[in-house]
Amino acid sequence: MEYGNLKTAEGVYIPKDPKSYPTDDPHKHLVVVKKPKKSKDFKFDDSYPYRDRSFNYWLHRNIIGWLFLHIIVYIANRLKHGLKIEGRKNLKGWEKELGKGAIAVCNHVYQFDAVAVKQALSPLKHIWIPMYARHFNGGQYWFVRYVGGVPVPETMSGLRKFDEAFDYYHNEKKALILVFPEEVRWDQYVPIRPFKKGAFTMAYKYDAPVVPCVLTYRERKGIYKLFGKKDAPCFTIHVGTPIMPDRSHTRKEEVDRLRVESHRQMEQMAGIEENPWPAIGE
């Protein structure tokens, strides 16, 4: 598999040397989770509070976390990362379906991409994000936990509690479940990698629309040179047209269809004409 097999529309900006990425395993972990000396040491089994009902969690999630996101991270995304939002018009006419909850999918390409999706889909109020469990024992514990992160369990007993939590979260009014179906983060990567099935299995289970989003890159110019690294790209997030599962078909048929259609939409929004990776990956 070679990045060089990528073919894009004219004007698509490629910010990073293709040779810096793996060519054999699209789900290889490239981001190192640094564990500080004084860190949490959670066990991701049925003892972890996947749905935390404590006052302390409510305070950090709904007051301190909300202020931190809106006053610091949202502004940093706009200035430091040059975030622009396109395609919100594609959500018009979907208010009824989205009001019952949705599953968003996006390529995983920079530190604050989850926040970018939240900014782009702001009519959806609550966001919950299944995340790689080790991040919760790392140095960014506070941010990933209170932005809405929920660790993917490491045991079957934990998985049952995890599923129960997401059953509850989905029933919140205007709730958004965000899944990165590429599974791991590859910073500034242009092709869309193969998708795991978890997001689309959730969509079928909840009879919820999938909202494809994709992050693309722009050369850093003008005022944005004042706020970020000169060699770092600016980002644009594109919102696609929601896709509803068809419950008259089998789960497997629909999970694969949703994967392929979401992948195709994201390729189109990103200006990718020939992608070196297939849509479906296991």
pLDDT computed for residue 170 by the predictor: 93
- CA angle 187/189/195 to nearest 5° reads 100
pLDDT higher at 31 or 181: 181
Are 239 and 209 in contact by the 8 Å Cβ rule? The answer is no
Question: What pLDDT score does 174 carry?
Answer: 80
From CA 141, how far away is CA 241, in angstroms rounded?
A: 33
What does the pLDDT read at residue 16? 84
- Which of 36-40, 102-106, 138-142 has the weakest average pLDDT? 36-40
pLDDT, tens digit, 9 for 90 and up, residues 151-198: 999 899 999 999 999 999 998 878 899 999 999 999 999 999 999 999
Task: Give 162's contacts (C-beta < 8 A, 6+ positions apart).
Answer: 50, 130, 150, 152, 153
Hey, what are 121's tokens?
């889909």
* DSSP assignment letter at 134: G
Find the farthest-apart pair of alpha carbons in the chain and give their distance in angstroms, rounded.
53
pLDDT at site 70: 85
CB 8 within 8 A of CB 190: yes
- Reduced DSSP (H G I as helix, E B as strand, rest coil) percent helix, strand, coil of the chain, to 5: 40, 15, 45
Q: CATH second-level architecture of 53-274?
A: 3-Layer(aba) Sandwich (3.40)
pLDDT of residue 199: 97
Start-to-end Cα distance in the chain: 16
Both structure tokens of 94: 């979907």
How much is the average pLDDT of 124-132? Answer: 88
| Residue 254 tokens, joined | 């629909």
> How would you class 221 by CB atoms within 10 Å of its CB: exposed for 0-12, middle for 13-18, buried for 19 or more?
exposed
Does the pLDDT value for residue 1 go beyond 70?
no
Say which residue, 227 or 3, is predicted with more confidence: 227
* Side-chain half-sphere exposure of 194, counting CA atoms within 13 A: 16
pTM for this predicted structure: 0.93
| Statement: residue 35 has pLDDT above 90 | no
Amino acid occupying residue 253: E
Say how far apart CA 209 and CA 104 lie, in whole Å.
8
Rounded CA separation 20/3 (Å): 10
Q: What stretches of the chain adopt beta strand conformation (E)?
A: 7-8, 84-86, 102-105, 126-131, 149-151, 175-179, 210-218, 234-239, 272-274
Give the C-alpha separation, 4 to 24, whole Å. 14
- Listed by start position, the domains of the chain span 53-274
Instruction: Please report which confidence band the pLDDT of residue 20 belongs to, taking 50, 70 and 90 as the band edges.
Output: confident
